[in-house]
Each structure stands twice: as C-alpha cells, then as structure tokens.
Amino acid sequence: MNLYKYASPVTFYPLAGKLIPWFAALAVVFGLVGLYLGLIVAPEDAQQGQVYRIIFIHVPTAWVGMVVYLVMAAYGVAALTLKTRLSSMMMEALAPTGALFTALALLTGALWGKPTWGTYWIWDARMTSTLILLFLYIGYIALIHAIEDKKRADKAGALLVIVGSVNVPIIYFSVRWWNTLHQGASVSATGSKMATVMAQGMLIMALACWMYAIAVVLARVRAIILERQYQGANEILGFEIAGTEMTGTEMVGTK
C-alpha cells in the first residue's frame, strides 16, 4: 500500500471521514471502562481518600498535552522538509486539542492540589513547565492566525514549533533545577506503589483521551481542508459573488 497517497488532502479527506466514527466509538468505550475502573472498582486511597480519583483524568490529559506538542514538531519537520501541505494542516488541527488538554491538566491539578496540598497552585517544576507548554501552544496559535498568507503561516508555525520543541527539554530541566534550588522537593505525589487496578484504570483513560483527541483532530483537519480548498478555488476563479462560489464539499467530493 502506498502510504504517500494519503499525504494529499484530497485523498486524506475521505479516509479521515471513515476513521472518525471508529476513533469516536473507541473513545466512548475506553472512557466508560476507564471511568468504571477508576470510580467504582478502584479502592479508596489510604492517604488521600476519594480525592485521588481525579488522577484518572489528570494524568491522561497531561500525557496527551505533552505528546501532542511533540507530534506537532514531527509534522513540522515533515512540513518543512517534505513540503507536504497536509502536515501543516495537521499541525493547525492538533494545536487547539493540545492546548485544551494542557489547560485541563493544569485545572485538574489545581483542583486536586487544593484538598491535598491546601493550595490551588504551587510553583512546582511539573506545574510550571506545563504552564509554559500552554504558553507555547498559545504562541503557535497566535502566530498562524496573525499571518494572513496561509503558506507563510504554515511554514512559520512549523519553524516555531521545531525551535520550541528543542527548547522543551531545556525548559523542563531548568525549571526542575530552579525548583529544587528554591524550595526543595517538599511536595510530590505519594510515591507508593500504585494498585494494579488504579494503573489499569489510568491507562485505559489515557487510551480514551487519545482516541478522543484523534477523532477531534481528524474532524478539525477535514474542516481545514475544506476551508482551504474553498478559499483557494475562489481565489483562482476570481469571483466571490454570493451564491455562485463552489462549496468545499463539491470540490473534494462528498464521502
């Protein structure tokens, strides 16, 4: 099978359409199983009581938030070296999901911190670097929306994310080191061995988050493909009289 075939937006569009229901269904199934394991089967934590159960959503969102940035960087490399238009569209589609999951990780972390540590926010290394990651996402989104020429926006965004991803480990270690200098490792999640059922619940919830993220990103990239085809075609045809433009679906061909 020639995988490069699907590097073209026109062939990828129907493929994505076929995949979305599967990923969405898997997200629901994994989500239900994960929540069942996490909220009903898993026992109460000896030290933290019921509060700890937020980790079933907190840890998976943090994972997805971090990994999405690396996926974007990989697409960025592809966009600049292979010059595939779809790579840039995928980056654009991934960014809001990455930002959302990062924000959710911060929010759930804060909600967990209040009853456990007695404060919503501490300048813990992980929380601080997650916050910086959120800034990086926002920077990318702001950049590609500020540049009007789409081609230039794509390339500029790809370069920014690549430069950012080189920086991510440096930021992480600098923040961790700064943190130990300032306050010592006074607070950390209880390092005790996690019960198997908790680990399983977390893993399945992570799968649910991934499936959801993939489904949403595919749906978003389909919208981006349509938007760009529509703009591109109208630029070429040179008319924008209401009612006479072609709609995006006509050009791509409905699924």
Contact residues for other proteins, defined by CB under 8 A: 80, 132, 135-136, 138-139, 142-143, 146-147, 151-152, 155-156, 159-160, 162-164, 166-167, 170-171, 174-175, 177-178, 181
Q: How far is the CB of 136 from other proteins (least distance, A)?
A: 6
Identify how many contiguous H helices and E strands the chain contains and give both numbers: 7, 0
Cβ proximity to other proteins: between 231 and 247 the closer is 231
Q: Which helix (H) or strand (E) holds 246?
A: none
190 backbone φψ class: left, alpha, beta (φ>0; ψ -120 to 50): beta
Amino acid at residue number 43? P
Cβ proximity to other proteins: between 11 and 174 the closer is 174
Q: Angle between the 150-183 and 125-146 helix axes, to the nearest 10 degrees?
A: 160
Q: How far is the CB of 69 from other proteins (least distance, A)?
A: 12
Q: How far is the CB of 92 from other proteins (least distance, A)?
A: 16
Q: How far is the CB of 156 from other proteins (least distance, A)?
A: 5
Residue partners of 58: CB distance under 8 A and separation at least 6: 105, 108, 109, 112
Cβ proximity to other proteins: between 142 and 242 the closer is 142
Q: How far is the CB of 130 from other proteins (least distance, A)?
A: 12
Residue with tokens 């972390």: 109
> Token digits for 127?
């929380």
Q: How far is the CB of 189 from other proteins (least distance, A)?
A: 23
Rounded-to-integer distance, Cα 235 and Cα 226, Å: 14
Cβ proximity to other proteins: between 171 and 194 the closer is 171
Question: What torsion do the CA atoms of 139, 145, 146, 151 make, to the nearest 10 degrees?
Answer: 110
Give the single-character DSSP code of 6: G
Rounded-to-integer distance, Cα 5 and Cα 239, Å: 31
Cβ proximity to other proteins: between 60 and 98 the closer is 98
Cβ proximity to other proteins: between 145 and 255 the closer is 145
Give the single-character DSSP code of 2: -
Cβ proximity to other proteins: between 132 and 203 the closer is 132
Q: How far is the CB of 161 from other proteins (least distance, A)?
A: 11
Query: Residue 142, CB half-sphere, CA atoms under 13 Å: how many?
Result: 6
